[in-house]
Amino acid sequence: MATLQRAGTWEISESEDENTGQKTLQSSRTGNVWTGGEEETERTAPAPPDTGDPPWKESPKRRKRRNKEETEAKARLKREAREKQRTGRAREKEEKRREQQKRREEAERLRSLRPESCLRLLSLCVDPAVLQHEGSDLLLDTLAASQWRFLIQSQVVPHSVSWTRDLPQPTEDGRSVVEEDQLVLVLDLADFIDVVICVKRMLRTDGDGGGAPLLTVLLDVLNRQAHKAVTLLVISAQMHPRSEVWRRQSLQDQMGMHSLDIEEVMVYLQLRSISVSFLEDWQDVTDHLCAVTKALSKRPYNRLLTERAGLPFCVDGSWASGARVERDGSGLGQVWKLQVQQLNRVSAPMASAVTAAFPSPQLLLQAYRSTGSEEERRRLLADLSVKGAEGKERRVGPDVSCRIYRSLTAHNPQLVLD
């Protein structure tokens, strides 16, 4: 039976050079030896080159190439990290710039809504017929002294004064000027009598009778613009504006009408958003127009305040929203604790001590009813122990106990607890 053997031995021999006579050592490695029965074959494997280094050690070229690749990879990672950091800083800077721009625009919008800013955007449009009245120069002098903008131009309704507002930014439909809903008509007593006679005629004929041109135009404007609020300023030195009896008597004398008829005309005008004011002179007319102008200047700011959901005097905080009470009643204990803590000079540990002894107001009221005298009720909570922040214990005290008792049992809403 043949057997296979592998030999890997080294043979060292000594030889002498014929020319130099020096001896050298020679090594040879015996290769694989095949043995099979009577026949034996020997193979000699070539010896590996002697480099002086272990066979597992890398060559310098390969190590240098790997070190170069690792260095380039690290540099690439550093560049990517720096680029990512630079991009993040640029993004944060852009967001900060946008936030600042947004705050500036909001502040500018709020400044534009202030009354003093809105007053500069208002313009009074005065019909030339208004200036035909004696004493109308007082109105123009007052407007010029106040440095308010006003225009003298023909209006749709004669004898009228209207207001327009310049918008800081054009609307979606391209409008940059809007007309206010206030319309004031300045009439003398003769013009107002024509209006009254026209209204009476319309009431008798169910609106089919012809009316005065002024009232006809006014009603037509109200039909097209239902949001308009019209005020008739009637100037008459003969009718004192603060004397209702004198006003009715004067109208009855000049128009031959009864008091009931005059009231009927007033109701008819009021149902159509037309109010009537009787004034003595142009000083009263000027004061009225100035008051309307100032009120219109405050309207955008007042509208902004009413549109705010929160209250401006409530600061943000964890206590601002109070305690949440669920459907199962959880949270009522926290509400009771906050209610006790609202009293003056009652700290959170003191309120916790009171609510721990009496978990609900009803239990405390029951304890008050079961106590005999008034003095005992006032001192019911005085001996409760309160743990401070440093672990020291103290009592609630008679003062706090008396105030809690008053707050739960007093029937006078004006009672001072302290």
Pair (220, 341) in one structural domain: no
Residue 142 burial (10 A CB sphere; 0-12, 13-18, 19+)? middle
For the stretch 103-114, pLDDT in tens is: 888 777 777 667
Contact present, 403 and 418 (Cβ < 8 Å):
yes
Does residue 35 belong to any structural domain of this protein? no
For the stretch 241-290, pLDDT in tens is: 455 555 556 666 666 666 677 788 888 888 888 998 888 889 999 999 99
Least confident of 255-259, 296-300, 372-376: 255-259
User: Does the pLDDT value for residue 119 go beyond 60?
Assistant: yes
Pair (120, 221) in one structural domain: yes
33 HSE (CA, 13 A, CB side): 10
Does residue 96 belong to any structural domain of this protein? yes
Strands of 18-159, DSSP E: 23-29, 33-36, 39-42, 122-126, 149-152
Higher pLDDT, 243 or 395: 395
Please report which confidence band the pLDDT of residue 388 belongs to, taking 50, 70 and 90 as the band edges.
confident
d(CA 377, CA 401): 9
Pair (102, 212) in one structural domain: no
d(CA 342, CA 360): 16
Please report which confidence band the pLDDT of residue 303 belongs to, taking 50, 70 and 90 as the band edges.
confident
Q: What is the pLDDT of residue 31?
A: 47
Pair (303, 231) in one structural domain: yes
Pair (194, 206) in one structural domain: yes
Pair (149, 269) in one structural domain: yes
Pair (146, 176) in one structural domain: yes
Least confident of 88-102, 164-178, 216-230, 257-271: 164-178
Q: What is the pLDDT of residue 253?
A: 64
Does residue 352 belong to any structural domain of this protein? yes
Pair (220, 291) in one structural domain: yes
Query: How far lies 60's CA from each of 54, 55, 63, 73, 135, in Å?
Result: 13, 13, 5, 20, 111
Please report which confidence band the pLDDT of residue 1 belongs to, taking 50, 70 and 90 as the band edges.
very low
Q: What is the mean pLDDT of the chain?
A: 77
Pair (98, 156) in one structural domain: no
Does residue 28 belong to any structural domain of this protein? no
Pair (87, 164) in one structural domain: no
Does residue 46 belong to any structural domain of this protein? no
d(CA 142, CA 150): 11
Q: What is the pLDDT of residue 37?
A: 46
Q: List the CATH number of the domain containing 338.
A: 1.10.150.670
Pair (342, 292) in one structural domain: no
Q: List CB contacts of 3: < 8 A, sequence separation 6 or more.
A: 35, 36
Does residue 322 belong to any structural domain of this protein? no
In what helix (H) or strand (E) does residue 185 lie, and over which residues does it extend? Answer: strand 177-188
According to DSSP H, which parts of 225-331 are helical? 244-255, 259-271, 282-307
Q: What is the pLDDT of residue 122?
A: 87
Pair (250, 396) in one structural domain: no
User: Does the pLDDT value for residue 13 go beyond 70?
Assistant: no
Please report which confidence band the pLDDT of residue 328 belongs to, taking 50, 70 and 90 as the band edges.
confident
Does residue 232 belong to any structural domain of this protein? yes
Nearest residue to 286 (alpha-carbon basis) of 95, 106, 139: 139
Does residue 253 belong to any structural domain of this protein? yes
Counted domains in the chain = 3
Q: List the CATH number of the domain containing 223.
A: 3.40.50.10130
Nearest residue to 191 (alpha-carbon basis) of 169, 213, 206, 176: 213
For the stretch 46-69, pLDDT in tens is: 555 555 555 555 566 666 666 778
According to DSSP H, which parts of 129-188 are helical? 137-145
Q: What is the pLDDT of residue 416?
A: 75
Nearest residue to 11 (alpha-carbon basis) of 55, 42, 34, 41: 42
d(CA 217, CA 399): 74
Domain interval for residue 72: 66-112
